Amino acid sequence: MTLAFAYVRASTQEEVRQGSNKRQKTIIREYAKSKDYELEFFEDRAKSGKNIQRPDFERMLKSLDAKPKVVIVAKIDRFARSLSDLLRMLEYLDQKGIGFISVNDPGIDTTTPNGRLLLQILGAFAEFERNMINSRTKAGREQAMNRGVKFGRPALKTRNGSFIDRRKVIELKERGLSARAIAKSMECSITPVLRILRENRLRAE
């Protein structure tokens, strides 16, 4: 028999009580029986799929050196909650020569040519979406700059609204004044003084 890893997950305790993981296992077992796969299960209970910080999910990834032929899930949202996460994980599996099958999602089977083609198409759409977002962000930034909007850290000001002279802060520090004394001298809070000193790698004492 061929080794296959099976991953099941329930997002909440309520899903666990309602038997979500048991149903997923049944679906995977029925599929594996027809393919003559020997299953090793990895199961997370009440763990969100929004990130990969899931104990058994991480244990599964660390166990891939056992060389399963495929990783099987009942449904793709049990494995990843975003297209970018899914593609990243499938690329990782592919680099190790391991396939991926989602039983209840027709076409999601990287052990077949059609399944690999579908994932390539999804990857192209994901890249297109990223490029569109970057393009819109850049255009919006340029329009804002044309209207006079300034980006970056806000200018540091004194209590009366005038700008803090950074060179004077450094000069007073070099004369031996403490950060608190500089702030009092320049009529500003100590926070911007500390920031200027830190940026110039000067001690605050």
Which are the catalytic amino acids? 11
Q: In the numeric block, which tokens belong to residue 133?
A: 């977002």
Closest-CA residue to 43 (of 27, 64, 57)? 57
Q: In the numeric block, which tokens belong to residue 42?
A: 């990895």
Q: Is the dihedral of CA 181, 182, 188, 193 positive or negative?
A: negative
Q: What is residue 182's three-state secondary structure?
A: helix
Q: What is residue 59's three-state secondary structure?
A: helix
